[in-house]
Amino acid sequence: MNTAPFTATSFYSFLQEHKLMGTRCTHCGALYLPPRPLCPHCPEAPLEWVELSGKGEVVAFSVIAIGLTAMQEMGYSRENPYVSAMVRLVEGPIISAQLLGVEARHPETIAIGMPVHMTFVERGPQDARKTYLAFEPIAEGGA
Amino acid sequence: MRLSRPGVAVVGAGMTRFGAFPGLATRDLFVEAYRELLASVDKGFDPREIEAVYVGNFSNELLEGQGHLAPLLTDWIGLTPRPATRVEDACASGSAALRQGILAIASGLYDIVLVGGVEKMTDLPTARVTDTLATAADWTYEVSAGFTFPGLYAALATAYMHAYGATPDVFLQVGIKNHNNGALNPKAQFGQRISDIMEARKAAALKKGKPAPTWSTEWDFLTDERANPMIAWPLRLYDCSPISDGAAVLLLVREDLASRFTDQPIAIIGSGQASDVATHDRPTLTSLPAARRAAELAYAMAGVKPADIQLAEVHDCFTIAEIIASEDLGFFAPGEGWRAAQEGRTARTGDRPINTSGGLKSKGHPVGATGIGQVIEIWKQLRGEAGERQLPGDLRLGLTHNVGGTGQTCIVHIFERR
């Protein structure tokens, strides 16, 4: 059993190992991603870590032209926008992440319901790189 | 929950113009709004009667570099040593301060309270303001995905378009409507119709000896990437409220004392507030569940129905937000708000006027002051003091809808002219 504390720090450490980890309530079975440390339905029940498949579908997205400073530092700009999305995983929970491998300059080619799977992206200054969750479309007939 | 009897009434109101005011600090803006409030009390009053001050402000540490704002502002209007408290719920901070004032009077602790809001946003470059506004979302799990504040509302817009068949041009129609209203509001930051902005841009180009743009209608202008650039698809510049400076204040009193101040008090008959989870964690992306909950609470407290409300100021931080608000408040069924906007039903001449002030879009959105600014429009309209934009008829019931973040906080108030 994984004994890591139920924190964002643990979530990002797992991502570093390319694992997408949520938590599950051992009482009611509810699955939480991002991982919650406390089940709102059963506040006294212990939780446990669960690895998710990383497969899902886009339920909402935006092509962001005026980005956060941190994204501008990654080279994104009005001419080179990026896509952020909300993805519903096959296990049920929805999570926000960058969507890669799509034509950001042609939003009409990005569709709600588009099947995606997880990938990972490194961001931050050279000496403080951090791994973030991302998704990309599942290639036709593949994955 | 019910408000105790006697209830709470608004008997005075003041605000700065919303806009970009280099050289004016939060305290200067607050003093200006307060001066207007003093002059607004019909029968006059002694400001020393004010017993407590509540101020809504989102992020003054990041935006102006000054913390511990409430006593400082209270000092500048000469009201120390009265208790002074700052209240923060992102873009709903103003309504949160109002609610604290209501609760303080309803509790029986005070009879006369000043509530207000202020934000100073234009000192920083746009990129820093974008980062600051993003802190209203979940920094660890939403902003880390690259989401800006416009980006999150844009994502809601894609979900709404997908669910109900709306198109981005309908969103822009909300902006045109709000600019038409703001053009009649001398306090508005961008108080011009979009067609006037377009003509001014053409004239400026000609004056500089450049080829004049070929726009002939508002639609040519609004669909030209140079005039109306994409911010976060499907939202363009004219879908977004601006970065603003401003302050607004209200004088609240126990309702049975109101006649000492004015013969036209505006009673606060409903107050509802709700909180919610991060955007991606909700059962719906086409509605703000906390807004529905806050509205239900406010309607129940007031004993009125959505159909009774004659005008509403809603939180149009983005055009899509106004459409969703018009559904969450029960004015239109889910999925029908965009058609109502398209048919002009929410215009000043429609059956369901929304944002007669120009809304956040045209009037401006100095975050902490916004919720109080909304109340001032209802106050003016119900008292028949809204000038050129005054709605006709016997106005008795108005509503404000103020949202923090993407609906992690929603606050609804209902007002009645008795």
Mean pLDDT of the residues in chain A: 95
Q: Are the beta carbons of A122 and A133 closer than 8 angstroms?
A: no
Q: Helix (H, G, I), strand (E, B), or coil: what is residue B162?
A: helix
Determine the pLDDT at residue A108. 95
Give the pLDDT band of residue A124 (cuts 50, 70, 90). confident
- Cα separation of A115 and A90, whole Å? 10
Q: Helix (H, G, I), strand (E, B), or coil: what is residue B219?
A: helix
CA angle, residues B278, B171, B189, in degrees to nearest 5: 90
Domain membership flag for residue B38: yes
Fold of A55-137: OB fold (Dihydrolipoamide Acetyltransferase, E2P) (2.40.50)
Q: What letter does residue B124 receive in the DSSP assignment?
A: S
Domain membership flag for residue B55: yes
Domain membership flag for residue B171: no
Q: Which residues of B touch A69 (CB under 8 A)?
A: 127-128, 130-131
Q: Are the beta carbons of A28 and A107 closer than 8 angstroms?
A: no
Q: Helix (H, G, I), strand (E, B), or coil: what is residue B299?
A: helix
When CB atoms are compared, the residue of B144, B235, B285 closest to A59 is: B285
Q: Which of B126, B144, B237 to mutate to test the interface with A (most CBs of A within 10 A)?
A: B144
Determine the pLDDT at residue B4. 59
From A137's Cα to the closest Cα of chain B, the distance in A is: 16
Domain boundaries, chain A: 8-51, 55-137
Q: What letter does residue B17 receive in the DSSP assignment?
A: P
Tens digits of pLDDT across chain B (418 residues): 556 567 999 999 999 999 999 999 999 999 999 999 999 999 999 999 999 999 999 999 999 999 999 999 999 999 999 999 999 999 999 999 999 999 999 999 999 999 999 999 999 999 999 999 999 999 999 999 999 999 999 999 999 999 999 999 999 999 999 999 999 999 999 999 999 999 999 999 999 998 889 999 999 999 999 999 999 999 999 999 999 999 999 999 999 999 999 999 999 999 999 999 999 999 999 999 999 999 999 999 999 999 999 999 999 999 999 999 999 999 999 999 999 999 999 999 999 999 999 999 999 999 999 999 999 999 999 999 999 999 999 999 999 999 999 999 999 999 999 8
Across the range A54-65, mean pLDDT stands at: 98
Q: What letter does residue B390 receive in the DSSP assignment?
A: P
User: How remote is the C-alpha of B302 from its chain's centroid?
Assistant: 21
Is 50 exceeded by the pLDDT of residue A143? no
Best CA proximity match to B146, nearest among B130, B162, B125? B130
Euclidean distance between the first and the last CA atom of chain A, given in angstroms as a whole number: 29
Bridge partners of residue A24, in order along the sequence: A31, A48
Contact A85 B235 (CB under 8 A): no
Bridge partners of residue B318, in order along the sequence: B240
Determine the pLDDT at residue A141. 57
Domain membership flag for residue B408: yes
Q: Are the beta carbons of B94 and B117 closer than 8 angstroms?
A: yes
CB pairs under 8 A between A and B: 106
Count of domains observed in chain B: 1
Q: Which residues of A touch B230 (CB under 8 A)?
A: 63, 65, 78, 81
Give the relative orientation of helices B319-328 and B149-164 as an angle to the nearest 10 degrees: 60
Q: Which residues of B touch A113 (CB under 8 A)?
A: 162
- Cα separation of B206 and B58, whole Å? 41
Q: Which residues of A touch B162 (CB under 8 A)?
A: 112-113
Contact B141 A8 (CB under 8 A): yes
Question: Which residues of B are part of the catalytic machinery?
Answer: 91, 365
- Cα separation of A87 and A1, whole Å? 27
Sign of CA dihedral B282, B288, B291, B295: negative
Q: What letter does residue B19 receive in the DSSP assignment?
A: B
pLDDT tens column, B111-136: 999 999 999 999 999 999 999 999 99
Q: Helix (H, G, I), strand (E, B), or coil: what is residue A9?
A: helix
Determine the pLDDT at residue A1. 75
Q: A65 is written with which tokens?
A: 């032209």
For tokens 């799977």, name the residue: A117
- Cα separation of A21 and A34, whole Å? 8
Best CA proximity match to B140, nearest among A3, A73, A30, A15? A15
Contact B154 A64 (CB under 8 A): yes
Q: How far is CA A123 from CA A21, A64, A133, B68, in A?
A: 20, 17, 10, 34
Residue range(s) defining the domain that contains residue B24: 8-124+242-417
Domain membership flag for residue B54: yes
Q: Which of A62, A73, A99, A130 to mutate to test the interface with B (most CBs of B within 10 A)?
A: A62
For tokens 């003054």, name the residue: B60
What are φ and ψ of residue A8, in 5° steps? -65, -35
Contact B235 A62 (CB under 8 A): yes
Best CA proximity match to A87, nearest among B334, B141, B319? B141
Domain membership flag for residue B166: no
Q: Helix (H, G, I), strand (E, B), or coil: what is residue B411?
A: strand
Q: B317 is written with which tokens?
A: 């931080």
Domain containing B65 — which CATH number? 3.40.47.10
Q: Are the beta carbons of B398 and B382 closer than 8 angstroms?
A: yes
